[in-house]
């Protein structure tokens, strides 16, 4: 496992160290979960419209990365306040248990909160530029995404603690960015767009689901009743496999309505093999040593699957 962040490695006021510290606080290894859906939506949108709006694409990427980073940072703040990250002894850095920036005194809780709010503010600026470029409907996509991100971790709603975190992530990093990117490129959203977004939603929900497994004991003790806390290891394993099956069925439906060719089913079907391995890891007796490969496989399934669909959406 990777070495946790420390003041010795990331402290100091030099511009380079400050920039590195602020970047790593956002947990950038997860940015594929937000960037790739935008690329998929852009691919389908340009296919529908016959044009590629590069300015809209760049602004959309900037906006969603800032939202994603801000949400990650603020989630660390609320997890520190609840105590779950502080007592998490089963964490697998850098994947679970937060960034460890607050617990290891790399940044203060107040500093993290300011940085998270700043990132959300930057996303609003990018969104304002998109509104000026493409019109007011863009605002709806942006505000929905920010609202889901904030409500995911902020009390008293705190969707993640109510077993609704996977639903929020599936919408916020699946349906919303794909449909939003399609709208930016084509000016509309059709039923095909939703079908293309669904497998991404299922795959990204699984990233959160398996990442919560090592945190079950700490989350339960802190009163953060995530979905794995509620349904247990066995239920989590079954749900994980079910979401992968649903992703395949969504791609099959997209093939059935002519949005994708039959060949687009190949990768999602093959990805069931690593998905089965990751599901076994969830219930394995090895604990962290078993969970880590499962987490990495899940990230790869999402990345490969989303890029695969994006490629077919682009080529037709």
Q: Where are the domains of the chain?
A: 26-315
pLDDT score at 92: 94
Q: Please, what CATH class does the domain formed by 26-315 belong to? A: mainly alpha
pLDDT score at 316: 74
pLDDT score at 19: 97
pLDDT score at 1: 66
Residues with pLDDT less than 70, the chain = 1
Residue in the structure block whose two tokens are 């309505």: 257
pLDDT score at 125: 96
pLDDT score at 2: 82
* Whether pTM exceeds 0.75: yes
pLDDT tens-digit readout, 47-89? 999 999 999 999 999 999 999 999 999 999 999 999 999 999 9
The Cα 285–Cα 290 span in angstroms is 8
pLDDT score at 286: 74
């Amino acid at each position: 496992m990777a070495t946790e962040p420390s003041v010795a490695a990331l402290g100091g006021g030099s511009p380079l160290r400050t920039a590195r510290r602020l970047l790593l606080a956002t947990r950038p290894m997860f940015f594929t979960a937000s960037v790739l859906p935008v690329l998929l939506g852009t691919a389908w949108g340009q296919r529908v419209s016959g044009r590629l709006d590069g300015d809209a694409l760049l602004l959309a990427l900037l906006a969603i990365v800032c939202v994603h980073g801000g949400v990650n940072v603020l989630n660390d703040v609320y997890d520190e306040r609840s105590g779950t990250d502080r007592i998490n002894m089963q964490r697998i850095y850098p994947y679970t248990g937060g960034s460890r920036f607050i617990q290891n005194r790399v940044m203060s809780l107040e500093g993290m909160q300011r940085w998270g709010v700043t990132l959300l503010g930057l996303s609003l600026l990018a969104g304002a530029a998109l509104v000026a470029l493409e019109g007011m409907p863009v605002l709806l996509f942006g505000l929905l995404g920010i609202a889901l991100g904030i409500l995911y971790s902020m009390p008293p709603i705190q969707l993640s603690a109510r077993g609704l975190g996977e639903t929020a992530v599936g919408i916020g990093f699946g349906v919303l960015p794909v449909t939003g990117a399609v709208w930016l490129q084509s000016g509309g959203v059709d039923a095909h767009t939703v079908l293309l977004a669904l497998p991404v939603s299922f795959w990204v929900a699984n990233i959160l689901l398996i990442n919560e497994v090592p945190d079950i004991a700490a989350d339960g003790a802190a009163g953060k009743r995530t979905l794995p806390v509620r349904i247990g290891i066995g239920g989590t394993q079954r749900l994980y496999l079910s979401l992968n099956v649903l992703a395949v069925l969504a791609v099959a439906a997209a093939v059935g309505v002519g949005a994708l060719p039959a060949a687009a089913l190949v990768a999602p079907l093959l990805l069931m093999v690593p998905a089965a391995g990751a599901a076994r890891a969830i219930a394995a007796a090895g604990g962290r040593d078993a969970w880590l490969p499962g987490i990495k496989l899940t990230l790869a399934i999402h990345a490969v699957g989303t890029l695969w669909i994006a490629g077919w959406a682009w080529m037709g």
